[in-house]
């Protein structure tokens, strides 16, 4: 197969590219330039967006012995990921830009370009396993052998169609140390770079500051669920459902218990705060359903709403071609519209969807 290896400059994608080559594929390395004004050198843990990262990717490609190119996807990234991120916050939702990037950039914009240039598949350093036991032989998606690194949550949005042209050679590694050893064994001199966790386009890691700078100020009221005004804020986009810190109220609650953000209402510029138990929900409703197999009402599943969160036992209570509702065994906190809901059966991904309202 002719395989395009997306190379960020980090250890994971370098090892993935090497494994694809060693598996006998015809591999070409591509580094995506996602930012227009890139810093020359890396700072902190961000792992893909500087000229230094591009240079590391190039060195890795040289070592592996594959051609290497830089593709400028910065316009797509800005339009489809950064702008979407801001629009979602402005609309009072809590987006996951990594899910968005996988959906629209890596496995759409990059994949489209790759296909036009004659590639059969895109290979990345993601931690997840692509199986072959979906309905009618369609690809299935499973958690990686390494629980701590599992990225099936942010990949589920690809759906079975997207997986047909994807390769994740690292999914079978149970331990990050193994991957680093594979890197060292091949002389890929990127083995000791820190992992990246933060949002790549917010260089200083200050998401609130980024939102404030980008969206400006839109003052409004902080209210109780009953509508009592407790104070003011500088913009609803500064708040996420479930947030406790930085709400900015001078007066403590009368009962002395901590307050949480319960709801964000951009229309009325209100932020609703209240006690923790009001934050809990047992029902998740989601739209834009991407199923890996048919899901019927009554099906036992596990529901996950955060990239690094645990999955909670649940049962499907309503489902059609676009929407799905599940009831959770235990109530969970901090459920916000815009978050990605991924349903599992054990290690196997059943569906991805986007939470759109709290019941």
Partner 1 sequence: MVNNRTYLDHSATTALRPAARDALVDAAGALGNPTSVHTSGRRVRGILDDALQEIAQQLGVPRSWLIMTSGGTEADNLALRGAAHLGPVFGLATDHPAVVQTVQALNGRLLPVHRDGTMDLTALETALDQARSDGAPASLVSAALVNNETGVVQDLSAIAGLAHRYGAAVHTDAVQATGHVQLPDFDTVDLMSLSGHKIGAPVGVGVLVAQPDVKLAAVGTGGGQQRGIRSGTLDAAHAASFAAALRETLADAAAEQARLGSLAERLRAGIRAIDADAVFTAEDSPHAPHIVHVQFPGAVQDAVLFVLDQAGVDCSAGSACSSGVTQASHVLEAMGFEESLMRGAIRFSFGWTSSEQDVDAVLQALPDALERGRAMGRLFA
| Residues with catalytic roles | 101, 200
Of 41, 44, 83, 117, which lies in the binding site for partner 1, with binding defined by CB under 8 A? 117
8-state DSSP, 175: -
Is 313 annotated as a binding-site member? Answer: no
Question: Left, alpha or beta for 125 (phi > 0: left; psi -120 to 50: alpha)?
Answer: alpha
Instruction: Tell me: does residue 90 bind partner 1 (CB under 8 A).
Output: no
207 binding partner 1? (CB under 8 A): no
1 in a known ligand binding site: no
Question: Contact, 31 vs 57, CB < 8 A?
Answer: yes
Strands 270-274 and 220-223: parallel
Among 22, 43, 45, 72, binds partner 1 (CB under 8 A): 72
Counting Cβ atoms within 10 Å, is residue 245 exposed (0-12), middle (13-18) or buried (19+)?
exposed
Contact 208, 199 (CB under 8 A): no
| 3-state class percentages of the chain: helix first, strand second, coil last, to nearest 5 | 30, 30, 40
Confirm whether residue 144 is marked as ligand binding. no
Segment interacting with partner 1 (CB under 8 A) among 54-62, 125-133, 142-150, 290-298: 54-62
Distance CA 125, CA 148 (A): 15
Instruction: Tell me if 166 sits within 8 A of 130, measured CB to CB.
Output: yes
Residue 16 C-beta: closest distance to partner 1, Å: 21
Q: Which residues contact 166 (CB under 8 A, 6 or more apart)?
A: 107, 121, 122, 123, 124, 130, 158
DSSP, collapsed to helix, strand or coil, labels residue 125 as coil
**Which position among 1, 59, 63, 71 is part of the footprint of partner 1 (CB under 8 A)?**
71
Annotation-wise, does 32 bind a ligand? Answer: yes
**The pair of three-digit structure tokens given for residue 254, joined into one six-digit string:** 């009368």
Binds partner 1 by CB under 8 A, chosen from 23, 43, 62, 67: 67
Nearest-angstrom CA–CA distance, 343 and 98: 18
Q: Is 69 in the site for partner 1 (CB under 8 A)?
A: yes
Asked if residue 118 binds partner 1 (CB under 8 A), the reply is yes
> Does the footprint of partner 1 cover residue 78 (CB under 8 A)?
no
Sequence-separated (6 or more) residues with CB below 8 Å from residue 213: none
Shortest separation between residue 54's beta carbon and partner 1, angstroms: 5
Task: Indicate the residue among 70 and 253 with the shorter CB distance to partner 1.
Answer: 70
CB of residue 33 vs partner 1: minimum separation in angstroms? 5
Q: What residues are paired with 68 via a beta bridge?
A: 29
Shorter beta-carbon distance to partner 1: residue 51 or 253? 51
Q: Which of residues 288-307 bind partner 1 (CB under 8 A)?
A: none
Sole binder of partner 1 in the list 22, 62, 112, 133 (CB under 8 A): 112
Does residue 355 sit in helix, strand or coil?
Answer: strand
Which of 59, 63, 78, 113 is the binder for partner 1 (CB under 8 A)? 113
Q: Are 48 and 13 in contact (CB under 8 A)?
A: no
Instruction: Quote the least distance from Cβ 274 to partner 1, whole Å.
Output: 47
- Residue whose tokens read 């700078």: 213
As measured in angstroms, the least distance from the Cβ of 7 to partner 1 is 12
Least Å distance between CB 126 and partner 1? 24
Structure tokens at 338: 């815009």
Interactions with partner 1, residue window 10-39 (CB under 8 A): 28, 31, 33, 38
Where does this chain bind partner 1 (CB under 8 A)? 28, 31, 33, 38, 51, 54-55, 58, 67, 69-72, 112-113, 116-118
Binding residues for ATP are 6-13, 32, 125
């Amino acid at each position: 197969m002719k395989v395009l290896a997306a190379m960020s400059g980090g250890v994971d994608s370098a090892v993935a590219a090497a494994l694809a080559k060693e598996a006998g594929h015809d591999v070409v390395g591509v580094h995506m330039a996602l930012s227009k004004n890139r810093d020359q050198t890396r700072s902190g843990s961000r792992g893909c967006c500087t000229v230094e990262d591009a240079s590391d990717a190039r060195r890795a490609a040289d070592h592996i012995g594959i051609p290497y190119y830089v593709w400028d996807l910065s316009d797509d990234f800005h339009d489809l990921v950064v702008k979407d991120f801001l629009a979602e916050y402005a609309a009072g939702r809590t987006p996951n830009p990594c899910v968005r990037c996988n959906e629209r950039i890596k496995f759409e914009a990059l994949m489209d370009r790759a296909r036009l240039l004659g590639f059969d598949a895109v290979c990345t350093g993601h931690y997840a396993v692509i199986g072959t036991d979906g309905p009618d032989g369609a690809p299935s998606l499973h958690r990686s052998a390494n629980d701590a690194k599992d990225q099936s949550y942010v990949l589920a949005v690809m759906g079975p169609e997207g997986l047909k042209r994807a390769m994740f050679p690292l999914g079978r590694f149970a331990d990050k140390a193994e991957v680093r050893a594979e890197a060292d064994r091949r002389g890929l001199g990127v083995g000791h770079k820190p992992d990246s966790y933060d949002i790549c386009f917010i260089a200083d890691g200050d998401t609130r500051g980024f939102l404030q700078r980008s969206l400006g100020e839109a003052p409004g009221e902080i209210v109780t669920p009953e509508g009592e005004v407790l104070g003011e804020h500088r913009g609803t986009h500064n708040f996420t459902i479930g947030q406790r810190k930085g709400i900015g109220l001078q007066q403590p609650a009368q009962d002395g218990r901590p307050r949480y953000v319960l709801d964000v209402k951009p229309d009325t510029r209100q932020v609703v705060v209240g006690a923790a138990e009001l934050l809990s929900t047992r029902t998740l409703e989601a739209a834009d359903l991407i199923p890996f197999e048919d899901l019927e009402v009554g099906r036992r599943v596990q529901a996950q709403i955060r990239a690094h969160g645990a999955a909670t036992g649940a049962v499907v209570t309503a489902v059609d071609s676009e929407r799905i509702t599940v009831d959770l065994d235990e109530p969970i906190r901090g459920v916000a519209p815009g978050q990605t809901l991924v349903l599992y059966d054990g290690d196997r991904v059943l569906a991805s969807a986007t939470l759109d309202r709290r019941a």
